[in-house]
Chain A
Amino acid sequence: MRRFPEYFTIWHIAGHYGLRLVAWLVLAFLILPILVIVPLSFNAEPFFTFTPGMLALEPEAYSLRWYQEVATDQRWTLAIRNSFLIGIAAALLATLLGTVAAVGLASPWMPFKRLITALLLSPMIVPLIIIAAGMFFFYTSFGLVGTYLGLIIAHAALGVPFVIITVTATLAGFDRSLFNAGLSLGASPVKVFWDVVIPLIRPGVISGGLFAFVTSFDEVVLVLFLAGPEQRTIPRQMFSGLREQINPTILAVATLLVVLSIALLLTLEVLRRRSERLRGTGA
Chain B
Amino acid sequence: MAEITAAPPRAARRLAPEDARNAAREVRAQRLRAFLFVTPLLAFILFAFVAPIASMLFRSAYNPTVADLVPATLEALEDWDGEARPPDAVLTRFAVDLKRLAEERTSGQLAEEVNRYLPGTSSVVKSTARSLRRADDAALAEGGANLLLEADDAWGEPGIWRALRKSGQVYTASYYLTALDLEMTRDGTIQPRDTQIYLKLYGKTLWMALIITVLTLVLGYPLAFHMAHSSTAHANFLMVFVLLPFWTSLLVRTTSWIALLQTNGVVNSTLITLGLTRDPLELLYTQFATIIAMTHILLPFMVLPLYSVMRGIDPSYMRAAMSLGSRPIPAFLRIYLPMSLPGLSAGALLVFIISVGYYITPALVGGTDGQMISNIIAFHMQQSNNWELAAALGSLLLFLIVALYWLYDRFVGAGNIKFG
Q: Which residues of A contact B (CB under 8 A)?
A: 5, 7-8, 11-12, 15, 19-20, 22-23, 26-27, 29-31, 33-34, 36-37, 40, 47-50, 97-98, 100-101, 103-105, 107-111, 116-139, 153-154, 156-157, 160, 162, 165-166, 168-169, 177, 180-181, 183-184, 189, 207, 211, 214, 217-218, 220-221, 224-225, 234-235, 238-239, 242-243, 246, 250-251, 254, 257-258, 261-262, 264-265, 268, 272, 283
Contact = CB atoms under 8 A, between A and B. Distances in A.
A36 B299 contact: no
Given A49-B262, A131-B49, A165-B418, A217 B249 contact: yes
28 contacts: A8-B322, A19-B225, A23-B227, A26-B222, A34-B256, A36-B260, A49-B265, A49-B269, A100-B40, A104-B38, A105-B34, A108-B8, A110-B35, A123-B45, A127-B359, A129-B397, A133-B390, A133-B391, A137-B52, A137-B387, A157-B44, A165-B417, A239-B360, A239-B364, A254-B256, A257-B249, A257-B251, A264-B247
B359 A128 contact: yes
A23 B223 contact: yes
A80 B308 CA distance: 36
B418 A97 contact: no
Contacts of A154: 48
A220 B359 CA distance: 10
Contact of B56 (A36, A133, A261): A133
Given A31-B244, A108-B8, A109-B27, A116 B38 contact: yes
Given A220-B360, A242-B255, A261-B244, A100 B41 contact: yes
Interface string B1-29: 11100101000000000000000000100
Contact of B37 (A100, A120, A121): A100
Contacts of B419: 162, 165-166, 211
Interface in B43-98: 44-45, 47-56, 59
B378 A129 contact: yes
Interface residues of B, number: 100
Contacts of B322: 5, 7-8, 12
B383 interface: no
B275 to A, nearest CB: 17
Given A22-B223, A224-B382, A250-B255, 13 more contacts: A29-B296, A48-B258, A100-B40, A101-B42, A109-B30, A116-B38, A124-B417, A126-B357, A214-B247, A242-B255, A243-B363, A261-B244, A268-B420
